[in-house]
Amino acid sequence: MRFEDIDTTIQTLGEAKIPSPLLQPTERGGGTYFVDDDERILLHVNQKEVAELKKRDLPAPAFESAGPRRKIYFDPSKLRCALVTCGGLCPGLNDIIRSVVLELHHRYGVKHICGIRHGLQGFIPKYGHSTVDLTPESVVSILDKGGSILGSSRGDQDIEEIVDSLERMHIGILFMIGGDGTLAAASKIADAITTRGLKISVIGIPKTIDNDVYLVARSFGFDTAVDIATQAISGAHNEAEAYPNGIGLIKLMGRESGFLAATAALARQDVNFVLIPEVSFDIDGPNGFLDNLEERVTQRGHAVVVVAEGAGQEFFLDRQTQHDASGNVKLYDIGLLLKDRILSHFQERGIPMSLKYIDPSYIIRSLPANSNDRVFCSFLGRDAVHAGMSGKTKLVVSHWNNHFVHVPMDQVITQRKKVDPAGKLWATVLEATGQSSLKNPTSPNEE
């Protein structure tokens, strides 16, 4: 999809008529800044691309800027809000929750904030999950806790039942924190709300360690994940150097996108091979992975390999495809496959070696956020509140071209963001590692 084909229109529940309480000076003195709906951030920042659109008499596409508005839609004294976290855990979930609660309570005066337990299951009566009253006191010390204080779950739930629950609870704004599956569900919930003629705002906050949400330049938790992944790479490198013909093999998250593997490899440039889903490779053959790995080890005495979990899935085509509760294709373990193939290859060649296999995935996703992610989450949570209070709906708060913006939810879920094999990130990885294409000229896997 070309940027100029993207509809950036943001839906609203109606005209915002209530003067924002943020207009009043705070006890600390001064007021706040405000953003108008006509303040927009260009999708293209390349002057050549903008000039080309102008030549074709096309408007340059732009996102609506995020931030507080002078008038709001909801009456804070009567408003009830709900928060839910869905899907896999991610550093920063509690930071988002805290940011949303504090902004609603202290800045807008909203006193009724409900936490939905265990993802979308929390809306469905048959599961029996209780709700949680979220107050400044209950969230003040959650920054140092990993995971989510609300819990999570995977799997589809009945959209009509969810909207029934929202009606019974008299919810005015629903904040949904999750990845592409959660945002797809949020879009359906917003549509069902519109069909019923209800005035409920649905605001999405994108969450993915893989950093693969489309039209989101950076997702929270990614910075923390890179930090911890870098430590794993450092440990693998130290292990590999300590033994004759040592090999460190690290599997990182990245179902369809290799941003974490590529970025972590650049953050700690001790990596010799990076394997990601977007770039196919051969395991065997004269220019395949194993022969290249053998050459590196015999010449330098050690090697470090980073593989994203979604890489090399074509090597499992003879196995049955299965899906998890969220409908995602269950990935076969490329890390264990490579581990077995490396051991067999060196044994067959009669080359003694020491292999250390590290998979830090569940450690990474359940840890507290680092300082950079905490600051980022603070901005995201507060801008989500500003969007909801002003009556906007069916949007995702995104970071784009160094600004926080509103992106229509339906545009975000059209596809995944992926590493461009011809782009700067992957080119820099190749420069840093020195790895070849790892493809044989006559490979049956070659496109």
Q: Is 253 annotated as a binding residue?
A: yes
Is 105 in the same domain as 186?
Answer: yes
| 353 to 20, 248, 289: CA distances (angstroms) | 67, 11, 16
Is 194 in the same domain as 282?
Answer: no
Q: Which residues contact 1 (CB under 8 A, 6 or more apart)?
A: 414, 415
Is 85 in the same domain as 196?
Answer: yes
Q: What is the pLDDT of residues 377-423, one digit of tens each?
A: 999 999 999 999 999 999 999 999 999 999 999 999 999 999 999 99
Note the pLDDT of residue 320: 67
Q: Is position 164 annotated as part of the catalytic site?
A: no
Within a 10 A sphere around the Cβ of 382, how many other Cβ atoms? 21
Alpha helix stretches (DSSP H) within 42-158: 47-55, 93-102, 136-139
Contact 115, 133 (CB under 8 A): yes
Q: Is 254 annotated as a binding residue?
A: yes
Is 392 in the same domain as 426?
Answer: no
Q: Is the pLDDT score of 356 beyond 50?
A: yes
The dihedrals phi and psi of 294, each to the nearest 5 degrees, come to -60, -45
Q: Is residue 444 part of a domain?
A: no
Confidence bin at 126 (pLDDT 50/70/90): very high
Q: Is the pLDDT score of 32 beyond 90?
A: no
Q: Is 210 annotated as a binding residue?
A: yes
From the list 95, 210, 291, 359, the catalytic residue is 210
Question: What mean pLDDT do residues 91-117 have?
Answer: 98
Closest CA to 146 of 369, 377, 375: 369
Quote the domain boundaries for residue 232: 222-366+421-433
How distant is the alpha carbon of residue 38 from its chain centre? 28
Q: Is 98 annotated as a binding residue?
A: no
Q: Is residue 440 part of a domain?
A: no
Residue identified by tokens 């000229």 is 441
Q: What is the pLDDT of residues 241-265, one digit of tens each?
A: 999 999 999 999 999 999 999 999 9
Q: What is the pLDDT of residues 339-352, one digit of tens each?
A: 999 999 999 999 99
Between CA 414 and CA 105 the distance in angstroms is: 34
Q: Is 182 annotated as a binding residue?
A: yes
Is 263 in the same domain as 206?
Answer: no
pTM of the model: 0.94
Q: Which is it for the CA torsion 40, 44, 45, 48, positive or negative?
A: negative
Confidence bin at 24 (pLDDT 50/70/90): confident
Q: Is the pLDDT score of 447 beyond 50?
A: no
Between CA 421 and CA 412 the distance in angstroms is: 22
Q: Is the pLDDT score of 334 beyond 60?
A: yes
Residue 193 belongs to a domain with what CATH number? 3.40.50.450
The dihedrals phi and psi of 84, each to the nearest 5 degrees, come to -145, 140
Q: What is the pLDDT of residues 158-214, one digit of tens each?
A: 999 999 999 999 999 999 999 999 999 999 999 999 999 999 999 999 999 999 999
Is 356 in the same domain as 386?
Answer: no
Q: Which residues contact 97 (CB under 8 A, 6 or more apart)?
A: 83, 85, 115, 134, 139, 142, 148, 149, 150, 177, 381
Residues forming beta bridges with residue 82, ordered by sequence position? 114, 174
What number of residues does the chain have? 447
62-65 and 40-42 strand pairing: antiparallel
Q: Is 256 annotated as a binding residue?
A: no
Between CA 99 and CA 95 the distance in angstroms is: 6
Q: Is residue 282 part of a domain?
A: yes
Q: Is 374 annotated as a binding residue?
A: no
In 300-366 the beta strands, taken as DSSP E runs, fall at 302-308, 354-358
Confidence bin at 2 (pLDDT 50/70/90): confident
Q: Is the pLDDT score of 443 beyond 90?
A: no
Q: Is the pLDDT score of 266 beyond 60?
A: yes
Q: Is 428 annotated as a binding residue?
A: no
Q: Is residue 255 part of a domain?
A: yes
Q: Is residue 258 part of a domain?
A: yes
